[in-house]
Amino acid sequence: MSISQQITALRKGGDLGGAEKLAHDELKKNHSDRYLQNAYGWVIYFRLKEISDGLLDNKMTHMKAVSGLNHYVDEYFQLNLLSKPDLLHSLVLTQVLKIDKEWIRFVGFAKWWGVDNFREEDHEMLRLNNGKEIASLVLRYFYRIGHALTKHHADLSDTDQAWGENQLNEALNKHPDDQWLNYYKSKLLLLKGDSKGAQQALMLVIRRQKRAYWAWAHLGDILSIDNLEQSIICYQYAVSLAQKPGQIVNVREKLAKLLAIKERFEEAAAHLKRALTVREKEKLKIPDSLKQLLATNWYQQNADLKLSKELDVSSLVDDILYESANLVSRFGVLDNQNEHKKLAYISFGVNEGVVLRYKQFTGIENIKLGSVVSVEVEEGGSTAIRWSESEKSTIDGLLENFVGLMEKPDDREFGFLRVTGGPRIFVPPNLMKKIGNVSDENFRCKAILSMDKKKGKEGWVALKVEKI
């Protein structure tokens, strides 16, 4: 059995320590042995996996994990004969991504790891055991570059900054609609003083993740430069959206600063008090910036006030989000409520319409079938931005009222409304069931023009019927 085989046998037998020592000793004698390097590479991978598993199970401190990460990455750096792209190389990256999101060395590691060393499989979405899908290894690699660029921007060399920014831009060229790439691009642009560009990059993110507290918090950061009032609203909205109090302690501190500038001292004090309470409860560090605010006269004067209810600013955020957009209002008909999928369909025409999801467009689930609503879209686009109820009851050529005689074939569950000098309107079974087995009686109906997919032609379909 060769030395490399012995190392592998020790590793597979659960003796990582023995495998590591043997690999170390033998590589000192023959570092150019490709098989020895490969065997040790797999030992390093499993050591990194130990670290990530230990963090997940709370069996290892963060400090010890980072120390181990630094050590084994440095060891891996020495294995210059390993094949790339390769399963082992990709697996090492996977574990590095798991261990420490804040690792200051990541950009340098990513640069060395090699943007061209991905396998075809690394570009595919990853399906977890619980059925959920996460981003591909390739995208997670670029996400982490974006995060490191913005988190450690001041600590990176000019060369690493330029390389990282180039990679982020290249990734955006391939995935222009990816929300995380746009988010990190926005943060980077803000760091570079381009608030307008930062806001533009964030728009795609926040319009898709309208209830993501972190997106609104970042918009608050952007607007704090030129528009304090709007920044305050964004921070307030972020606070209202957060699921856990610990997520927005820093946002509350930023919000308090701006409220104090506007001399809204009671509100400012309330947010500081909440931030302090959460930090103390969750045993989080009290930063110097918070200590300084707690020492101000305006806080001391209002510190004993009862905490007030959070302000509801939900009605104000759309105006901020879309004030620079060219929005066009279009009238449409709600012709389908899918409670199972939690969405409504608004028809603008026979072959045109938009889907409004309940989660994103609050209240649309309460609108009755056949109602006319106003939907705002960006000029030249078809994606719904917001909606409102309309006083209109009909739309010429799309939603109209008719009067005629009802007819029902004996052997069918559906019927037809015969309109003198007008169209023959299809009455679906669900409506016929409500009115019973009637024929040659006058009915009034509201109908929508739609496409009969089986026949390939347009026709009117009743949405409501009532006997005259």
At residue 111, the 3 state secondary structure works out as helix
CA distance 241 to 211: 6
End-to-end CA distance of the chain: 95
pTM assigned to the model: 0.75
Cβ 447 vs Cβ 430: under 8 Å? no
For 54-71, the pLDDT digits (tens) are: 999 988 999 999 999 999
User: If you average pLDDT over residues 322-330, what whole number do you get?
Assistant: 80
Backbone angles phi, psi at 453, to 5 degrees: -65, -35
User: If you average pLDDT over residues 191-215, what whole number do you get?
Assistant: 91
Does residue 456 carry a pLDDT above 90?
Answer: no
Q: At what angle do helices 106-113 and 158-174 cross, to 10 degrees?
A: 60
Backbone angles phi, psi at 402, to 5 degrees: -135, 155
Q: What number of other Cβ atoms are within 10 A of residue 183's Cβ?
A: 24
Mean of per-residue pLDDT scores for the chain: 93
Residue where the block lists tokens 């999801």: 357
CA distance 23 to 20: 5
Structural domains in the chain, CATH included, are: 210-324 (1.25.40), 325-389 (2.40.50.140), 399-467 (2.40.50.140)
Does residue 172 carry a pLDDT above 80?
Answer: yes
Residue where the block lists tokens 């029902």: 408
pLDDT of residue 324: 63
For 271-296, the pLDDT digits (tens) are: 999 999 999 999 999 999 999 999 99
User: If you average pLDDT over residues 298-323, what whole number do you get?
Assistant: 85
Does residue 108 carry a pLDDT above 90?
Answer: yes
Cβ 27 vs Cβ 63: under 8 Å? no
